Amino acid sequence: MRGDTGFPVRVQYSKRGKIRWISHRDVARAFERALRIEQLPLAFTLGFSPRPKVSFGLALSTGYESDCEYLDLELSEPIDLESLPSRLTAALPVGLVVDAVVELEERAPALQEAVAAVTWEIEVTEDDGKAVPVEMLRELVAGARSAPVLEVTQVRKGRASVADVRPAIRRLDVRAPSSTDSAVTIEMELLTQPRGAKPSEVVAAIAGFSPAPVTLVVSRAVRTHQWIERDGARCEPLDADTRPRVPQVRAS
């Protein structure tokens, strides 16, 4: 998407609340509308059907929330980036919030190719909505961590197949509920390459280590970090392939 004379930027945004029920495609449409409303000087592709040079990162499953979604876009001329987060947020549906916009290096790798791992906070319950005892979940997670193979049924493009998700799991930790009305949380870091896994698939694999039949469901999922890894180091997309910026502190 990079041009020799354009001005590429990277946008970080969050998706929280009821807006989690709209699809990745609907999020893309919402941003396209916001970009038109703000009349940004977008760069366009060439050809018979010119399209704005906008490229989204990893898709977020419908129903999941995130504090770290990204998209890259190219402008035809430089603009003030400091005011852009508030401008775009005002033009987006409630629940989509632009947190930061930074200038991107020319010809930076596409987000979908660059992101190597993601971190999740997953709240789980039993299928009837009952809370999962934290010690029980810790035992199941310990079993999953020590297993050489974790086979689950994956559905991709309408086709079901059995796959081993163990190679995609880098870290699994259990966190006790913070209050009596909250669910137990699994913190997981999953690789995205060469083949990733969905949090729901990992949770299903964990349930398989119970001595008695049990079905665990994802009651809430939040993507908290995305990681780009190179030469033994890793950083988040706002700090990879971007020009120097002044660090921004997100309000709590």
Question: Quick one: pLDDT band at residue 5, thresholds 50, 70, 90?
Answer: low
Q: Residue 250 pLDDT > 50, yes or no? A: no
pLDDT at residue number 45: 87
Fold of 114-230: Alpha-Beta Plaits (3.30.70)
Q: Compare 74 and 195 and report the one with higher pLDDT.
A: 74
pTM above 0.85, yes or no: yes
Domain boundaries, the chain: 7-108, 114-230
Q: What are phi and psi of 20, to 5 degrees?
A: -65, -20
Q: 249 Cβ partners below 8 Å, 6+ apart?
A: none
Instruction: Tell me, yes or no, if the two domains 7-108 and 114-230 fold the same way.
Output: yes
Q: pLDDT by residue (tens digit) across 125-135?
A: 988 888 888 99
For domain 7-108, say whether CATH 3.30.70.580 is its number.
yes
Q: Which of 138, 105, 112 is nearest to 244 (CA)?
A: 105
pLDDT at residue number 252: 37
Residue range 69-94: average pLDDT?
96
Question: Quick one: pLDDT band at residue 220, thresholds 50, 70, 90?
Answer: very high
Could you say which DSSP state residue 58 is in? S
Q: What percent of the chain has pLDDT over 90?
A: 69
Residue range 148-161: average pLDDT?
84
Whether the bond into 78 is cis, omega within 30 of 0: no
Q: Which residues on adjacent β-strands are paired with residue 174? A: 186
